[in-house]
Structure 1
């Protein structure tokens, strides 16, 4: 073997060994899970968007908080301190260290995966559209707003629906950003906007808890026709990228929970059904 080639192979081997040593040192320094165990408390952030997360009689509940409560218990962490925030403020709060986990039905996207570490997905949901009673504008897809300049659609700030509308080609002037689902619902009822783009479970929950007398779900509804949409709608918990040990422990406990017989019952209590259980797909595949 030529001397130059031997030197190159030796250099590559040394680099690989150094990388492994550095990673091992990082893993040893990662006290994210141990720190929470010692403190016996975990800080979890959420945004009000039922049925993913909301307040009821002063208690934080919803599909994601209830899953989080069971996971925290399985991890041996007795106390949860909740922090409510606007949806688009949750990732900055996580990055700043004010919370340890986001439990808000956050969809896994490539963009978000550059900022947070996602758990494995716990549900997969479809898109929907809330419109005025009788659907006077005849809206049956998000694409309709891209072809009609007189149609305006509300989206929750920081939610994936805003990205979908922009990808479809809806002009910025027709996308009305609101802070939460309740504000969007009011905007549709009052006629300020023609529709509210939301996940199907959120709109089903609105109808379940408070009959939609002046609004309704657009039906039929055509799902967005986008290449990346097949990976959209998988929701998970979010953890800081540096907290690898916490992520690993969380995923183990979450996986055990999802294998339990009452996991589906936990979800159906909040309006989800078996069709919204995640398929056999990983967060890594969804983030690529």
Structure 2
């Protein structure tokens, strides 16, 4: 009887371990938050989330063993709360210097895009040969962005029109509630492709000196950021190629897996 009982015990243990093994390898879903901000992140005509950062997020999530991503659209003011409450585990394409930066934990930065200017081709009061800050202009900017922080440091609040997204900033420009729009260069390039006859874009030496590092955001204390950084480094060749396909150059990815990035 002893061998039979032992056989039953071994077989039962095998079944338990098999079930546990299946549980460990069941498909995993990563909850990723995003803000509508083309070309960084946008939804295409098929309803799929696309853009610079979703492409990279898919590469890293796949390397980490996630089989699917559940995309969650967020507004800027809900990013921290969504991460804190676990509605999302990571948010794509956040600027490290934005107004909520002190409440977030960032991965190693992926790209650095300069802040540039956009203005109306017809009837604009902006003179690009003179510093924009020395002119009596009103500036439109996305709320919470690095651009808004720069403007608040230099100008009176009455000269800053802060709105929720790029579409509303363009509306402020069209309605002449603002003379100039501040956006990262990729966002301005995206707008110029859509409205080449309506707007003019350009850089300002005063803005070029400010870094605008973009990365993935986590809630402080979430250890997922360490593995994310590791896989971002391991997958750096794929990431570099994915960004080059869209015309952008990634920052040199040093081995960085100690947790939150500090600029």
Q: Pick one of 236, 243, 255 that aligns with 2:222.
A: 243
Within a 5 Å distance, the mapping from 1:29-40 to structure 2 comes to: 40=28
**CA separation of 1:271/1:280 partners in 2, compared to 1, >3 Å: closer, same or farther?**
closer
TM-score (norm 1): 0.73
Distance 1:216 1:255 in 2: 37
Residue segments in structure 2 that go unaligned for 5+ positions in a row: 1-22
Q: Cα deviation per residue 1:145-171 (whole Å; 9 max; x = unaligned)? A: 4x33x411111111111101112x211
Against the structure 1 CA distance between its residues 268 and 190, is the aligned structure 2 distance closer, same or farther, given a 3 Å change threshold?
A: farther
Q: How many residues align?
A: 238
Q: Which residue of 2 aligns with 1:211?
A: 195
The question of whether the paired residues in 1 share the 8 Å contact of 2:99 and 2:149 is answered with no
Cα distance in 2 for partners of 1:132, 1:182 equals 15
Structure 1 position 113, deviation (Å): 4.6
Asked if the contact 1:45–1:102 (Cα under 8 Å) also holds between the matched residues in 2, the reply is yes
Aligned alpha-carbon RMSD (Å): 2.9
Give, in whole Å, the separation in 2 of the partners of 1:187 and 1:271.
29
Q: Using the TM superposition, give the Cα deviation of residue 239 of structure 1 relative to its aligned residue in structure 2, in angstroms.
A: 1.1
Aligned twin of 2:262: 287
Write out aligned runs for 1:77-96 (5 A).
77-96=66-85
After TM superposition, the score normalised by the length of structure 2 is: 0.80
Preserved contact between residue 141 and residue 223 of structure 1 (Cα < 8 Å): no
Larger helix percent: 1
Q: Is the 8 A contact 1:143 1:224 kept in 2?
A: no
Q: Name stretches of at least 5 consecutive residues in structure 1 with no aligned partner.
A: 1-34
Counterpart for residue 240 of structure 2: 264
Indicate which of 206, 210, 215 corresponds to 1:223: 206
Q: 3-state SS of the aligned residue for 1:114? A: helix
For residues 25 and 123 of structure 2, the distance between their equivalents in structure 1, rounded to whole angstroms, comes to 52
Quote the offset at 1:135 in angstroms: 7.3
